[in-house]
Amino acid sequence: MKFGKALLFAFTLFLFAGFAFATPTSQLKNALSSLCNGLSTMVPVAAMLMVLLASVIYATGQMMGAETRARANVWATSALTGAIIGILISVIAPSVLQIIAGQTIQC
């Protein structure tokens, strides 16, 4: 079991070692800029829709029986949690992508 964890750690370290010594090319910079644009435009919209979906699920569940109400509360909480995680991703992603590229990325 410990050997498997050590092997996984070594493999992960080997994968990320390429980021430390790589010099970003214009193609990589363009790809990261495109990814950043996609994240900053699509993820907040999806998060807003998930908040709306959570509110509809919660309101609908309040009109049902006890078991359905409990399930609706869980589903609404999950949707709201997903929306919050999406907003965090859209806020943090430009900084992380700039660290990966080592240069300023146009979002």
Q: What is the pLDDT of residues 10-62, one digit of tens each?
A: 888 777 776 666 666 777 778 888 888 888 889 999 999 999 999 999 999 99
Distance from CA of residue 73 to its chain's centroid? 23
pLDDT of res. 82: 94
Tens-place pLDDT, residues 69-96:
999 999 999 999 999 999 999 989 888 8
The span from the CA of 85 to the CA of 64, in Å, is 29
**So what's the pLDDT on residue 24?**
62
pLDDT of residue 12: 82
Domain ranges of the chain: 25-101
- Which residues, including other chains, have CB under 8 Å from residue 44's CB and lie 6 or more apart? 86, 87, 90
| Rounded distance between C-alpha atoms, residue 106 and residue 104, angstroms | 7
